[in-house]
Structure 1
């Protein structure tokens, strides 16, 4: 059974795998929230962010760019980063529990759920590290399906526990996710016997850079730190606001993951010598997304359907996310690591601006949502311009901002 599953993932289309992974991922959240959001579902969206933070911050934000860039003489730093990430992952949800308890008052099983999130964070860190190491070499199958088994098991568990209370369903969901990630990690190691050694191996033909790879870590800190600030602010909004934002964010990240994990690594990887193919691909995706989003605005205005406007914002955010993810990879591959300071500065300014708006009384769902969009749009715009794709970048930014402005009356 395990060998059959391993062969199935290795041989399947990355796009199909990514689509299935994100589809089951969204379904599990809908099954969890089923009916109406609660404080338990709010805690899921908050704690999962902290459980995933070390993976996003250290593995995706620092280690993967080093692998992708082919930078040499960094083995010791890779070892330190990869060893420390699981420990940070275990501690993150416990910190988040204290913050969530302080803001909302918590609930009876919050400690149990936090412990499960800590375990989930550790196995996510390990699984994503292995999958991203393969993706850096252009192998996108596993990075497209890294949480597929977890999501399927999670959906099955939630369906089996339909009549249980939300706290019990959430416990079962988390246990299923942990088991799924353990299985996935074992399958990856069995499929690629040398993978563990490759995690910290020097590239055979690396490039020499004049700035330190820690710039990638600074970029990651600012980006994911800004996201956590926005999530913490949203926890203080009306009940269930965090769940609503979490579902919207999951839909955007799901669409973006299908693109960035399944397709972009094939166009830009450690052996790439040009960014032309990825630029063309981004232009096509952005054009389609903004066109459909514009149609959503027209439908909302004509029939007073808020849902159409909300869908338009999702597509606009998706366009910004694709721009950012793609050109960050281009910058990592072809530019010096120090270019990451631009993304770090823009993300820090976005978080400070949202905090300022909050302090002046603009405490709305739209302000938070706009902050999320700008975390992707501004770095993507700057990096695309620096990579000499100015016209396409400016048109994307104009389209995203216009759709967000037109949709705002339906979101406030």
Structure 2
């Protein structure tokens, strides 16, 4: 095939997932602002973000953090093991939401329609975990379309429904979660119809590799990482109401931008048959330049328009770069480093959680410290992984990001 034709085909292959990812993430951000613009943050929005994140926790730990890398490693998970993830992740998701409801009750946050929000969040967590399971299986096989659009139907319905004046923040949250359930259920039905991820699972070995230990390393890493972040969110519930909602805004923006650039394109660069990390390294440098420029522009614009929010804007700028670097580094590590290398990043989140707990003793503890804590997870993790992958230039950059975030955190107390 002529070089121009090859480049054209490659562009088309990447443009489709990129467009889906951009649409999904943009609608997700619009949904967030649509939820807040009419009634503002409230106890109901705090409950929604907390329970939604809890419901996503088993997906991140088990499906993304363990199942996905075990599809990429040489000693792959067996079909029976894959079935365990298909059943275990949804059950754990529902359990996590119920546990979150108990914590909300103990914190005095359950009133009015909050029990209904808890019930709907549990149903959504169940369906969402099944959708992610199939999308991740397809991603491991090199198909990026499903993971790029995994949240698109649910986010689109929810973004439309929040435009309706429901009379209160609580009613709006109930309507929005209901649409998330409908959107995810519809996508799951389509996935079942087209057997998304099915061929990848059926091609797995019937018997697991002898002396397979990788899943324990992946589980330890993802469990401490995502579990520790939920501890930080639980601590944020001890602050005045709506702090968690405000914290969720930059979290959503950073996650959306990173997913747009990384989730849509990385499955084409790192999958079960990838034999070199060089294409992903080049991609990482391009993403860093783009996100660094966008973040710098955003921080400068914030300083001009709303100078009181300059520090959070700078943190988000650094976080954008760290998040993209971490996402790329994680996938490269799954493919090119042995599972035992996960041990070098296991301590990152526990150290940060301890730092948050200690910081609560200072009067200045608040949103800035929490933002730094979240950003540090990506910055420190990407630094350690890129150092192990021998990418000295990017490890130097992420090391600088780590030190900068620590300095901002300490200065805010």
Q: Normalization by structure 2: what TM-score?
A: 0.89
Report whether the alignment pairs 1:84 with 2:88.
yes
**Runs (5+) with no aligned partner, structure 2:** 1-12
Please report how far the alpha carbon of residue 294 of structure 1 lies from its aligned counterpart in structure 2 after TM superposition.
4.1
Report whether the alignment pairs 1:141 with 2:145.
yes
Paired residues of 2:154 and 2:181 also in contact (CA < 8 A)? yes
Q: Show the 5 A alignment for 1:234-273.
A: 234-273=236-275
Q: Distance in 1 between matches of 2:177 and 2:169?
A: 12
Residues 1:404 and 1:190: Cα distance change in structure 2 (over 3 Å): same
Residues 1:208 and 1:330: Cα distance change in structure 2 (over 3 Å): farther
Paired residues of 1:317 and 1:400 also in contact (CA < 8 A)? no
Paired residues of 1:90 and 1:118 also in contact (CA < 8 A)? yes
Please report how far the alpha carbon of residue 302 of structure 1 lies from its aligned counterpart in structure 2 after TM superposition.
7.1
Give 3-state SS (helix, strand or coil) of 2:162's partner. Answer: helix
Larger displacement relative to structure 2 (10-19 or 335-344): 10-19
Please report how far the alpha carbon of residue 210 of structure 1 lies from its aligned counterpart in structure 2 after TM superposition.
6.4
Please report how far the alpha carbon of residue 90 of structure 1 lies from its aligned counterpart in structure 2 after TM superposition.
1.3
Residues 1:166 and 1:69: Cα distance change in structure 2 (over 3 Å): same
Report whether the alignment pairs 1:187 with 2:190.
yes
Q: Distance in 2 between matches of 1:241 and 1:335?
A: 39
Specify the alignment match of 1:29 in structure 2. Answer: 32
Q: Distance in 2 between matches of 1:297 and 1:151?
A: 27
Render the CA deviation track for 1:72-127: whole Å, top value 9, x for unaligned. Answer: 35333332232111111112111101112222432211111101000000000000
Larger displacement relative to structure 2 (147-156 or 305-314): 305-314
Give 3-state SS (helix, strand or coil) of 1:117's partner. Answer: helix
Q: Give the counterpart of 1:50 among 45, 48, 54.
A: 54
Specify the alignment match of 2:233 in structure 1. Answer: 231
Paired residues of 1:296 and 1:308 also in contact (CA < 8 A)? no
Please report how far the alpha carbon of residue 140 of structure 1 lies from its aligned counterpart in structure 2 after TM superposition.
0.5
Please report how far the alpha carbon of residue 298 of structure 1 lies from its aligned counterpart in structure 2 after TM superposition.
5.4
Q: Distance in 2 between matches of 1:295 and 1:179?
A: 37
Paired residues of 1:354 and 1:371 also in contact (CA < 8 A)? yes
Please report how far the alpha carbon of residue 362 of structure 1 lies from its aligned counterpart in structure 2 after TM superposition.
5.1
Specify the alignment match of 1:112 in structure 2. Answer: 116
Q: Distance in 1 between matches of 2:21 and 2:315?
A: 22
Give 3-state SS (helix, strand or coil) of 2:263's partner. Answer: helix
Give 3-state SS (helix, strand or coil) of 1:139's partner. Answer: coil
Please report how far the alpha carbon of residue 301 of structure 1 lies from its aligned counterpart in structure 2 after TM superposition.
6.1
**Runs (5+) with no aligned partner, structure 1:** 1-9
Specify the alignment match of 1:19 in structure 2. Answer: 22
Q: Distance in 2 between matches of 1:66 and 1:245?
A: 32
Q: Distance in 1 between matches of 2:167 and 2:74?
A: 50
Residues 1:307 and 1:354: Cα distance change in structure 2 (over 3 Å): closer
Residues 1:407 and 1:226: Cα distance change in structure 2 (over 3 Å): closer
Specify the alignment match of 1:4 in structure 2. Answer: none
Specify the alignment match of 1:368 in structure 2. Answer: 370
Please report how far the alpha carbon of residue 169 of structure 1 lies from its aligned counterpart in structure 2 after TM superposition.
1.5
Q: Distance in 1 between matches of 2:286 and 2:21?
A: 19
Q: Distance in 1 between matches of 2:375 and 2:213?
A: 29
Q: Distance in 2 between matches of 1:119 and 1:272?
A: 37
Alpha-carbon RMSD across the aligned residues, in angstroms, is: 2.7
Q: Distance in 1 between matches of 2:132 and 2:374?
A: 23
Paired residues of 2:302 and 2:310 also in contact (CA < 8 A)? yes
Residues 1:190 and 1:12: Cα distance change in structure 2 (over 3 Å): farther
Q: Show the 5 A alignment for 1:97-246.
A: 97-159=101-163, 161-192=164-195, 195-196=197-198, 198-199=200-201, 201-202=203-204, 211-246=213-248
Q: How many residues align?
A: 399
Q: Distance in 1 between matches of 2:68 and 2:19?
A: 23
Please report how far the alpha carbon of residue 306 of structure 1 lies from its aligned counterpart in structure 2 after TM superposition.
3.4
Larger displacement relative to structure 2 (242-251 or 390-399): 390-399
Q: Give the counterpart of 1:354 among 356, 371, 391.
A: 356
Q: Normalization by structure 1: what TM-score?
A: 0.89
Render the CA deviation track for 1:268-293: whole Å, top value 9, x for unaligned. Answer: 11110011111111122223333444
Q: Distance in 1 between matches of 2:150 and 2:372?
A: 29
Larger displacement relative to structure 2 (354-363 or 302-311): 302-311
Q: Give the counterpart of 1:380 among 368, 382, 391.
A: 382
Please report how far the alpha carbon of residue 208 of structure 1 lies from its aligned counterpart in structure 2 after TM superposition.
8.3
Give 3-state SS (helix, strand or coil) of 1:56's partner. Answer: helix
Residues 1:136 and 1:45: Cα distance change in structure 2 (over 3 Å): same
Q: Distance in 2 between matches of 1:406 and 1:85?
A: 37
Paired residues of 1:300 and 1:308 also in contact (CA < 8 A)? yes
Please report how far the alpha carbon of residue 331 of structure 1 lies from its aligned counterpart in structure 2 after TM superposition.
0.9
Paired residues of 2:382 and 2:398 also in contact (CA < 8 A)? no
Residues 1:288 and 1:40: Cα distance change in structure 2 (over 3 Å): same
